[in-house]
């Protein structure tokens, strides 16, 4: 069975992609899924060759048939998002797709139509197949696009006979994060020792607990505020979650990114040796969770 790990963080800029891409360069037989669809950047490091591109359709938007419209104004009055103007044109960037105008129009002049909101891609990289996507500027429905990327990743795993998917998740705790973590085998939460980092971490761990997904924590730049690092460790102890890595502040991620390499391709230093140990720890946890499932299955068959 394909195993899935999602790397998440409470907010952007905590080193999530640095660590995800490093794991990608360490793991064998994997598929990469860049689910940070609002700010996808894994492709900058992995230089994928496109295999397939599909249009992505997000929310439907209203469309007015001018031949049927009698300019009664009911739809304009009913739209709470001011998406219909005095000429009865729909601003597709303001339309939230609620269908209220379609409901109130007595002339059946309004229908809901598909609108292209981005693209999803299946690609090949030097480390294996990759599913990724690009959401259009100002578009929403990123949760739906995350699900599309995860489906594409599963298809790639089946096609190329891979047994691991590493998912670079979106930041935060919104619907796109829920779409990126649902049904995965393990979460790694990257955090930083700041007040907001602690707050965000707590919210992400509550989410993982709610969905009963085993989680572990890595503190990036732990040495910038050791008092807050201690607070994070105490919070994790309270919530029954292991801290499996303390990454020091380092220029290595920036220098590696500037050279379009993962940190492990770029150098071998204190930073990368901690990254390796975090991966070893995660990998062991995945293997032991697989063995537990195997034992449970066998005993249920006896």
Q: Which residues bind ligand SF4 (CB under 6 A)?
A: 62, 64, 69-75, 78-79, 81, 83-84, 88, 90, 95-101, 104-105, 107, 109-110
The smaller minimum CB distance to ligand SF4, of residues 74 and 202, is found at 74
Q: What are phi and psi of 83, to 5 degrees?
A: -90, -5
Tell me the closest approach of the beta carbon of residue 108 to ligand SF4, in angstroms: 8
Tell me the closest approach of the beta carbon of residue 7 to ligand SF4, in angstroms: 35
The smaller minimum CB distance to ligand SF4, of residues 39 and 71, is found at 71
Question: At how many degrees (to 10) do helices 195-210 and 226-238 cross?
Answer: 20
Tell me the closest approach of the beta carbon of residue 76 to ligand SF4, in angstroms: 6
Buried/exposed code over 247-266 (b: 16+ C-beta within 10 A; e: otherwise) = beebebbeebbeeebbbbbb
The smaller minimum CB distance to ligand SF4, of residues 110 and 215, is found at 110
Tell me the closest approach of the beta carbon of residue 104 to ligand SF4, in angstroms: 6
Residues in a beta bridge with 53? 121
Tell me the closest approach of the beta carbon of residue 133 to ligand SF4, in angstroms: 24
What span, in angstroms and rounded, lies between the C-alpha atoms of 224 and 255? 19
The smaller minimum CB distance to ligand SF4, of residues 32 and 90, is found at 90
Tell me the closest approach of the beta carbon of residue 67 to ligand SF4, in angstroms: 11
The smaller minimum CB distance to ligand SF4, of residues 138 and 240, is found at 138
Nearest by Cα to 6 from 32, 44, 42: 32
Tell me the closest approach of the beta carbon of residue 172 to ligand SF4, in angstroms: 25
DSSP classification of residue 58: -
The smaller minimum CB distance to ligand SF4, of residues 71 and 195, is found at 71
The smaller minimum CB distance to ligand SF4, of residues 109 and 217, is found at 109
What span, in angstroms and rounded, lies between the C-alpha atoms of 120 and 35? 11
Nearest by Cα to 244 from 264, 215, 208: 215
CA distances from 1 to 122, 146, 296 (A): 21, 21, 15
A 10 A CB-CB count for 269 gives 14
Q: What are phi and psi of 142, to 5 degrees?
A: -65, -25
Could you tell me the maximum CA-CA distance found in the chain, to the nearest angstrom?
Answer: 71
The smaller minimum CB distance to ligand SF4, of residues 109 and 153, is found at 109
Tell me the closest approach of the beta carbon of residue 274 to ligand SF4, in angstroms: 49
List alpha helices for 32-141, DSSP H: 42-46, 74-78, 100-104
Say how many residues make up the chain: 302
Q: Return the C-alpha torsion angle 102, 103, 109, 111, nearest 10.
A: 40
């Amino acid at each position: 069975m394909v195993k899935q790990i999602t790397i998440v963080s409470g907010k952007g800029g905590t080193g999530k992609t640095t660590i995800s891409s490093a794991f990608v360069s360490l793991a064998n037989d994997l598929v990469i899924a860049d689910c940070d669809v609002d700010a996808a950047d894994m492709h900058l490091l992995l230089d994928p060759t496109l295999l397939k591109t599909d249009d992505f359709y997000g929310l439907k938007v209203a469309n007015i048939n001018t031949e049927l419209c009698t300019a009664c104004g009911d739809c304009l009055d009913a739209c709470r998002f001011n998406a219909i103007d005095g000429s009865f044109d729909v601003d597709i960037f303001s339309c939230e797709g609620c269908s209220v105008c379609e409901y109130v129009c007595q002339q059946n002049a309004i229908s809901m139509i598909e609108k292209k909101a981005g693209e999803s891609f299946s690609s090949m990289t030097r480390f294996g197949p990759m599913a990724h996507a690009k959401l259009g500027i100002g578009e929403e429905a990123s949760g739906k696009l995350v699900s599309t990327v995860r489906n594409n990743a599963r298809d790639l795993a089946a096609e190329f006979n891979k047994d691991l998917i590493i998912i670079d998740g979106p930041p935060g705790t919104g619907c796109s994060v829920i779409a990126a973590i649902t049904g995965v085998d393990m979460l790694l939460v990257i955090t930083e020792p700041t007040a907001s980092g602690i707050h965000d971490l707590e919210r992400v761990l509550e989410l993982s607990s709610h969905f009963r997904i085993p989680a572990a924590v890595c503190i990036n730049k732990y040495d910038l505020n050791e008092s807050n690092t201690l607070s994070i460790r105490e919070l994790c102890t309270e919530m029954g979650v292991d801290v499996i890595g303390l990454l020091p502040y380092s220029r290595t991620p920036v220098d590696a990114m500037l050279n379009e390499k993962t940190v492990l391709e770029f150098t071998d230093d204190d930073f990368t040796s901690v990254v390796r140990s975090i991966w070893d720890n995660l990998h062991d946890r995945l293997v032991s969770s697989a063995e537990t499932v195997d034992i449970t299955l066998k005993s249920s068959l006896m």
